[in-house]
């Protein structure tokens, strides 16, 4: 994780407090650690601002690029200033195992508007000991429409086919998604990916496939691949589906998403053990995971809501009026050949697989 990238954006939302006696000092505030960029923008509009409006509590947002290294370091230093973290589920599992998080009860979540209990309304696997899923995002490959005249990639194996689809690729400098795609390109069934990646032979095949790529530009922050793709520095890039959507809609960039082989993962809310306001943080999570908030969030950025009741309420993009249902990863058309990321596998193997990955595919300059 590059620390320089941990640009901290302190934004206090200017909310008119209902009580005239309230001063800045006794106004409680919550610090949320999230992912920055268009994702954070969507969260501000769909969740943070309405929360402050409803409760009078300010939300301060800081930015990170995932992983639990920062949290571990901060906990060791006794210097955790985050109350809530937006974490991928595998990070949440690893952090929970490391004792860095408060346990979260599923009963915290509000029922659906029609009274369906949360336990039935959330998608499978949404609750773990320390985390509650709020959205399903996908790591996908996107490509420039103008890069391959007369043809376009249709399957994930095309990512590795530089004869038919020449040009530099941008990939995240982390094993997640890359290993899955590399092995998938050999034609193995999705269901067996992690079993096969658990063998020396499977890992070796995946690394060989990645090494066979001529020109890889490694990225770490989620905005980078979008920028490179928009600027034409690469012709194919992996990245988060919401960010690519943002570039397609807001910047009208000539890019398309290759849904084949999308790697779906849950994005969750967690509360660090060292949080100063765990009660407030719980209140925030309950608010942020209501059907209404999740459905609204998906109108800003195309991430699939983790609640069935919210998924059916997703309508059009708030700015462009695009039908958002076609852009969320969980839409049946997009999810045909989706990979569900094996959180358990990553939570247990991350350190070792990362190490191998970095050895085999050093970042270079």
Partner 1 sequence: MNRSETREPTTGPMAIARFLALVLLGAAIGGIAALCAVGFVAIVFFLNDTLLISPRSRMMFGHEQWLIAATIAVPTIGGLLAGMLHRWIRERRPHTPADVIAAVQTRAGRLPARAGLLSALSALVSLGSGASVGQYGPLVHLGATLGSLSARLLRLGRSDDNITIACGVAAAIATAFNAPLAGIVFAHEVMLRHYALRAFAPIAAAAIVGHVIATNVLERGALFHVTGSAVPQPWEFAVFLVIGGLGALVAGAYMVAIRHAGRLAARLPLPAVCRPALAGAILGTAALWVPDILGMGQETLRFATIAGAFGTAELVVVLVLKILATALCLGMGFAGGVFSPALVIGTLFGALCGSLVAMVSGAPLDTFIFYAVCGMVAVTAPVIGAPLTSLLIVFELTGSYVLTTAALASVTLASPIAAQLFGRSLFDIQLAARGLDLSAGRSHAVLHAMSINPYLTRECVTLSPQQTIGDAIATLGRAGHAEAYLVSAQARYLGTVTLAELEAMRDTAHASRSLIECTASDRSTLTPDTSVGEAMEQLRHFTGEAIAVVDDPTTRTFLGVVYESSIARAYLQQSDELRREEYGNG
Q: What HEC string does the chain produce?
A: CCHHHCCCCCCCCCCCCCCCCCCCCCCCEEEEEECCHHHHHHHHHHHHHHHHHHHCCEEEEEECCCCCHHHHHHHHHCCCCCCEEEEEHHHHHHHHHCCCECCCCHHHCCCCCCCCCHHHHECCCCECCCCEEEEEEEEEEEEECCCCCCCCCCCHHHHHCCCCCCCCEEEECCCCCHHHHHHHCCCCCHHHHHHHHCCHHHHHHHHHHHHCCCCEEEECCCCHHHHHHHHCCCCEEEEEHHHHHHHHHHCCCCEEEEEEEEEEEEEEEECECCCCCHHHHHHHHHHHCCHHHHHHHHHHCCCEECEHHHHCCCCECCCCCCEHHHHCCCCCCCCCCCEECCHHHHHHHHHHHHHHHHHHCCCCC
Q: Considering beta carbons, is residue 131 or 340 the nearer one to partner 1?
A: 340
Q: Considering beta carbons, is residue 196 or 301 the nearer one to partner 1?
A: 196
Only one of the segments 64-72, 194-202, 250-258, 328-336 lies at the binding site for partner 1 (rule: CB under 8 A); that segment is 194-202
CB 157 to partner 1: min, Å: 8
Q: Considering beta carbons, is residue 287 or 345 the nearer one to partner 1?
A: 345
Q: Considering beta carbons, is residue 151 or 251 the nearer one to partner 1?
A: 151
Strands 29-34 and 84-88: parallel
Residue 256 has φ and ψ, to the nearest 5°, of: -135, 155
CB 130 to partner 1: min, Å: 19
CB 98 to partner 1: min, Å: 15
Q: Considering beta carbons, is residue 93 or 295 the nearer one to partner 1?
A: 93
With CB under 8 A as the contact rule, the residue among 53, 146, 192, 252 that binds partner 1 is 192
Per CB under 8 A, 161 contacts partner 1: no
Name the one residue in this structure whose structure tokens are 């320089």: 4
Site mask for partner 1 (CB under 8 A), range 320-359, x = bound: ------------------------xx--xx--x-------
Q: Considering beta carbons, is residue 61 or 210 the nearer one to partner 1?
A: 210
Q: Considering beta carbons, is residue 172 or 350 the nearer one to partner 1?
A: 350
Q: Considering beta carbons, is residue 83 or 260 the nearer one to partner 1?
A: 260
Per CB under 8 A, 205 contacts partner 1: yes
With CB under 8 A as the contact rule, the residue among 32, 197, 229, 301 that binds partner 1 is 197
Per CB under 8 A, 360 contacts partner 1: no
Only one of the segments 24-32, 187-195, 265-273, 300-308 lies at the binding site for partner 1 (rule: CB under 8 A); that segment is 187-195
Per CB under 8 A, 191 contacts partner 1: yes
With CB under 8 A as the contact rule, the residue among 39, 181, 194, 259 that binds partner 1 is 194
The footprint of partner 1 (CB under 8 A) covers 186-192, 194-202, 205, 344-345, 348-349, 352
């Amino acid at each position: 994780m590059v620390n320089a990238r941990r640009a901290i954006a302190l934004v206090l939302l200017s909310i008119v407090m209902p009580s005239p006696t309230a001063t800045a000092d006794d106004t409680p505030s919550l610090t949320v650690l999230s992912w920055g960029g268009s994702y954070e923008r969507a969260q501000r509009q769909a969740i943070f601002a309405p929360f402050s409006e409803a409760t009078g509590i300010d939300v301060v947002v800081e930015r990170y690029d995932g992983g639990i290294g920062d949290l571990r370091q901060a906990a060791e230093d006794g210097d955790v200033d985050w109350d809530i973290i937006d974490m991928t589920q595998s990070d949440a599992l690893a952090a929970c195992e490391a004792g860095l998080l408060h346990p979260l009860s599923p009963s915290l979540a509000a029922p659906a508007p029609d009274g369906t209990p949360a336990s039935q309304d959330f998608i499978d696997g949404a609750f773990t000991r320390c985390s509650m899923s709020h959205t399903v995002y996908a790591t996908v490959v996107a490509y420039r429409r103008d890069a391959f005249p007369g043809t376009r990639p249709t399957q994930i194996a095309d990512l590795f086919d530089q004869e038919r689809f020449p040009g530099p690729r941008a990939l995240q400098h982390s094993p997640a998604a890359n290993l899955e795609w590399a092995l998938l390109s050999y034609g193995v069934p999705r269901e067996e990916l992690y079993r096969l990646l658990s063998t020396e032979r499977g890992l070796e095949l995946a690394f060989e496939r990645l090494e066979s790529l001529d020109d890889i530009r490694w990225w770490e922050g989620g905005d980078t691949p979008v920028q490179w793709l928009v600027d034409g520095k690469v012709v194919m890039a992996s990245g988060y589906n919401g960010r690519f959507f943002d570039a397609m809609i807001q910047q009208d960039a000539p890019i398309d998403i290759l849904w084949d082989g999308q790697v779906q993962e849950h994005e969750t809310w967690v509360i660090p053990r060292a949080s100063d306001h765990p009660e407030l943080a719980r209140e925030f999570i309950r608010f942020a995971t209501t059907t209404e908030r999740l459905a609204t969030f998906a109108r800003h950025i195309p991430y699939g809501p983790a609640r069935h009741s919210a998924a059916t309420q997703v309508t059009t993009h708030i700015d462009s009026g695009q039908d958002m249902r076609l852009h969320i990863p969980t839409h049946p058309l997009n999810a045909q050949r989706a990979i569900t990321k094996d959180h358990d596998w990553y939570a247990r193997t991350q350190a070792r697989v990362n190490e191998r990955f970095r050895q085999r595919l050093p970042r270079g300059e």
